[in-house]
Amino acid sequence: MSLSDKINKLCEQALEKEMVGGIVTLKKTADDSAMHCLITEQSELEGTDPLIPFFPGNVANFVKKLTRITPTTDKILVILRPCEMRAVVEMVKLAQIQNQNIIWLTFDCPGTIPRSDVRGEKIPDSHEFFSDAMNSDDKIRTICATCDYVRADTGDIGFLSFEQDAPFIAYTEQGKKFLNELGIEFIEKAVTDGLDKIIARRIENENKLYDKLNKQVKGIDNLVAAFAGCVNCHNCMTNCPICICRECFFESEAMDFAGDMFIELARRKKGLRAPTDLGVFHIGRMSHMTTSCVSCGACEEACPEKIIVGQIFKWVAANVQKVFDYSAGKKWEDELPLKTFCEEELEQVTGIE
């Protein structure tokens, strides 16, 4: 049985026993790509592949929509990658997802191939992809090749796809109850052997990326140069699960100016580049959300100009989150950095002892 079949079997049983009213998983599309899909019938499992190595967007955005008005009455099973699970944790903390009647099933993630490599090509078989990923990061997105959070341990159920016999693991009481009711065997203590090699390689890649960005993107001039090709389409923002404002300041009338102001700006800057407001948009977005950025790279996948926006945000977020001793989405119990104010921070911010 393939790894995906093992998860699909669980899905089939959960629907058959009416333990869930729906399942959110990845389903292959007619153009050989894949999209997230909410299915409610066993027959709709045909063509689903929860482990397909393709990232059509962060599923947390869909779950936000699913629970925005009210959570579902029936239980929903959501199958998702570790970076998506971490986005969910942040969005629950930010009151964007109502975490009721949802069972989260996460899996050890080998990474996903870039969207640009998929167009017109068949996505590799997910089962084979796992064995390739054990030894190489060559085919996956840079954001994945530098991701060391390949095991999610914040959901209800984990699927340890890199371990011997790929067991399910129950992380919460809800997960345990669910697996028991299904009659599926599971373990309760995580094993890590299968991931050690991958994680060590990913940390090395991550350090190399940060060294490169420190040289190429650090400082305002370099940052502006990195975004030189930006067409200000805001795709990165729309696809980011953490950009949560219902009305974006950068799309509001506050960014409209009288004609004379443009002349004035052009005189001051010795020529005004169009589209305008690029720097303020990217730096503004960074200041709004890097405490919660989960380095999923959905922004970069959505960028038509191939700007390494996800890698840049990942690097900025790593630095920002280090200051707050916070790791976005890793722990339910850690409070959002900007929601708390520690006494010692008063001196840091004001300089007053």
**What residue ranges bind ligand SF4 (CB under 6 A)?**
55, 81-83, 109, 111-112, 143-144, 147, 150, 230-236, 239-242, 293-299, 302-305, 307, 309-310, 313-314
Tell me how far, at minimum, the Cβ of 301 lies from ligand SF4, in Å: 8
Which SS3 state, helix, strand or coil, does residue 91 take? helix
The residue among 83 and 157 lying less far from ligand SF4, judged by its C-beta, is 83
Q: What is the DSSP letter of 138?
A: T
- Output the CA torsion sign for 154, 127, 66, 177: negative
The residue among 36 and 314 lying less far from ligand SF4, judged by its C-beta, is 314
The residue among 158 and 297 lying less far from ligand SF4, judged by its C-beta, is 297
In order of 171, 244, 295, 326, 328, the CA distances from 90 in angstroms are: 18, 11, 12, 12, 7
The residue among 75 and 314 lying less far from ligand SF4, judged by its C-beta, is 314
Q: Quote the CA–CA distance of 138 and 142 in Å, as a whole number.
A: 9
The residue among 75 and 288 lying less far from ligand SF4, judged by its C-beta, is 288
Tell me how far, at minimum, the Cβ of 309 lies from ligand SF4, in Å: 4
The residue among 91 and 179 lying less far from ligand SF4, judged by its C-beta, is 91
In order of 140, 180, 250, 251, 252, the CA distances from 247 in angstroms are: 34, 44, 9, 8, 7
The residue among 20 and 240 lying less far from ligand SF4, judged by its C-beta, is 240
Tell me how far, at minimum, the Cβ of 238 lies from ligand SF4, in Å: 8
Tell me how far, at minimum, the Cβ of 21 lies from ligand SF4, in Å: 27
In order of 34, 92, 113, 175, 327, the CA distances from 108 in angstroms are: 19, 22, 16, 17, 19
- Alpha carbon dihedral 5, 9, 12, 18, in 10-degree steps, equals -150
Buried b (16+ CB within 10 A) or exposed e, 235-263: bbbebbbbbbeeebebeeeeeeeeeeeee
DSSP calls for 209-225: HHHHHHHHT-SHHHHHH
Tell me how far, at minimum, the Cβ of 183 lies from ligand SF4, in Å: 29
Tell me how far, at minimum, the Cβ of 74 lies from ligand SF4, in Å: 28
Tell me how far, at minimum, the Cβ of 181 lies from ligand SF4, in Å: 28
